[in-house]
Amino acid sequence: MFVKNITWLSVEAAEAEVQVTDGVYECVAFSWPCAVAVGDDITEPLHVFDMRNAKLVQNVQTGIWALDQNSLARRVVAELVDLDRQIVGVGGIWLIAEETLPAGIKVGALLEFDCARLDLW
């Protein structure tokens, strides 16, 4: 995944909304302090902040969608990539969850959840 665009919220505070893509899927992540530039590769997963309503789903398209236009809240449907590290993927966009994932989830399963935002550290 790589940085497609940066919208600075505060240059002085190094706060930005960073548009991340894998060439197919894309999302916006909050970054502070933002130390990336357009075109940079991102090698670490984005962090899921305040995961809610996590559940296993089947036969649902993966993706990342805004819950409303005035916030960074997102709905995510992703595939579990690494259970030990709690990494899920939407295409080549990888996310790491701090909260406990639903019981019984296995690698390859689809997980749907809402979150307050995605963070790029």
Which tokens sit at 80?
Answer: 């579990």
Mean pLDDT of 54-71: 95
**Residue-wise pLDDT tens digits, 82-107:** 999 999 999 999 999 999 899 889 99
Q: State pLDDT tens for residues 12-32.
A: 999 999 999 999 999 999 999
Residue 67: which domain range? 2-120
CA 63 – CA 44 distance, rounded (Å): 19
Mean pLDDT of 30-55: 98
Q: How many domains does the chain have?
A: 1
DSSP helix/strand/coil, 25:
coil
Does the pTM surpass 0.85? The reply is yes
Residue 111 is predicted with a pLDDT of 97
Say what percent of the chain tops pLDDT 70.
100
